[in-house]
Amino acid sequence: MKARFNPISLGMMFLNTLVVNAVSKINNEDVAVCPCFSETEVMLKIDKPGFDIHRTSSCASTPYTSLNIIDIKSTRQGVRPGFTDIDDLPYAHYSAIYDTTTDNYECRESDAAWMIPSSKAKACHNLLLEACDKVNSRICPCYSFGDLMKLEKSIENTDINVDSSKTCLDPTESIYGIYKFESNVPTFSLDLENNRCMDGDKSSIITEEQSAHCKDLMDDFCREVNVPSDTDKLSTSICTNDVNRSETCAWVASNPSLRCNQIDGATGKRMFEQCRLTCSKCACKDDELFRFNNKDFKDCKWARAKGNICSKKAIRVACRDTCANPSTCCMDNNNFKLFPSSTSAKKKFGCKWAKKRKTNFRCKITSIAMNCPETCGLCT
């Protein structure tokens, strides 16, 4: 008996063949879609206000390219999960390798990486190049969020002195930027009127989009940074180095951890007795004139109530009683032991031991003099 022709079965077989072929084509790289990240995902991040990129690691040439994007607002709020840290800042990381010479094809999003077919690697690579073209026409060419964050940290730690009379002024009336004290050249700045941005004395003509990005970055900096005011500088007025030993104190400052406890042959005194500011051996007193960031209410009493704010160097230096610590002012270190390896509770040989008897003799020991200055009468 002849088998009957079944057109439905034949059609199903044909359809199944098409599906198999389609899957085969996908596996054989005929469909080039980046599997790590989508165009929508990347473009949303660079179209969003308040973004920036890491300059030196982004948008390199072939065969490897990457784009490291940071959301400024989220970073200020402390959001970090799922990001790649670069220079201690959280970036969303996208990268692709399309290297035909070594047959190396890879894509990566944050810390997750995939080895992929060449056509898909090319799709990822082209997607990033397109995004980079778009980004480079928008971002500030003179400074980045990362640059300003480093500067912000230096200012708050008082590693550099900033002229508050020039820094972060109204951008419509002056050059908008950050000026070091006694310098007419800003560190980073923006001239809105002439469409220029500056990195020191290097100037760049910029587009309106780039100008807007430069201004956004500077606005964020000026909103967040604590620019030390003239009253901040008064914090040194209650503690200074001996003016007659200025050259000696300059020498001590080049290696304070080694030189502060040495004896000055000319005076017979320890260096920290003459270079109190350099050696952080000032009296543990608050400066009543100090106002943090030129705010009348931000005095040392405010700092004491605030709590956990002594990490800021300007406050540590001015509010030595509020932030009292053996590393910041002249006081005994209760954790000090002459023989730290001793396990006997009765043999701590600390400041109390030095005070108990033969104090003058025991205070001739360098480590005791340095760690027990109150006991040894070296704080006045």
pLDDT in tens, 32-62: 899 999 999 999 999 988 999 999 999 987 7
Q: Which tops the pLDDT comparison, 169 or 2?
A: 169
- Rounded to whole angstroms, how far apart are CA atoms 10 and 346? 97
Q: Is the pLDDT of residue 213 over 80?
A: yes
Q: With cut-offs at 50, 70 and 90, classify the pLDDT of residue 231.
A: very low
**Residues 189 and 175 sit within 8 Å (Cβ to Cβ):** yes
pLDDT > 80? residue 247: yes
Band of residue 122 on the pLDDT scale cut at 50, 70, 90: very high
Name the pLDDT band for 183 (thresholds 50, 70, 90).
low
84-86 and 51-53 beta bridge pairing: unpaired
Instruction: Take residue 177 and report the two structure tokens written for it.
Output: 């930027």
Residue 79 pLDDT > 60? yes
Residues, the chain, total?
A: 380
pLDDT per position as a tens digit, 308-365: 788 777 788 889 999 988 888 999 998 898 886 655 555 678 999 999 989 999 999 9
pLDDT at 196: 93
Q: Are 371 and 331 in contact (CB under 8 A)?
A: no
**What mean pLDDT is predicted for residues 286-306?**
85
pLDDT tens digits along 349-380? 899 999 998 999 999 999 999 999 999 999 97
Residue that the structure tokens 């990195």 belong to = 199
Distance spanning both ends of the chain, measured CA to CA: 120
The CA–CA distances, whole Å, from 267 to 74, 252, 263, 307, 373 equal: 56, 15, 8, 40, 18
What lies within 8 Å, CB to CB, of 196 at 6+ separation is 190, 203, 204, 205, 206
Q: Is the pLDDT of residue 15 over 90?
A: no
Mean pLDDT confidence for 290-318: 82
Strands 64-71, 51-53: pairing is antiparallel
Can you tell me the mean pLDDT for 281-296? 84
